[in-house]
Amino acid sequence: MTEIELQYSYCMQSINKIAELKANPILSEDDQIDLEANVDYLQQMLAKDFWITKDLTPLREAIK
């Protein structure tokens, strides 16, 4: 697995965690912190310049 594929995999894990948390109508304080951390992570990853062949739509959609 290349470094870009590995980073993309981490992003997908973060997307899944965001979806899981957003599905819960009531979030604990820890859940809210976790949600914000994952959104921040994806925002940071979207700013990277090494995404040449990867579809970044799922990352953008997750942070809406």
Are 15 and 59 in contact by the 8 Å Cβ rule? The answer is: yes
Domain borders along the chain are 3-62
Q: Following DSSP, what letter does each residue of 15-37 receive, concatenated?
A: HHHHHHHHT-SS--HHHHHHHHH
Q: How confident is the model at residue 22 (pLDDT cuts 50, 70, 90)?
A: very high
Asked whether the whole model's pTM tops 0.75, one would answer: yes
Are 63 and 39 contacting, i.e. CB atoms less than 8 angstroms apart?
Answer: yes
pLDDT band at 8 (very low <50, low <70, confident <90, very high): very high
Task: Phi first, then psi: give them for residue 28, nearest 5 degrees.
Answer: -70, 170
> Would you state the structure tokens that stand for residue 21, as one six-digit string?
């948390």
Q: Is the pLDDT of residue 1 over 90?
A: no
Place of tokens 């992570």: 41
Between 1 and 14, where is the model more confident?
14
Q: What is the pLDDT of residues 41-50, one digit of tens each?
A: 999 999 999 9
Under 8 Å between Cβ of 21 and 27: yes
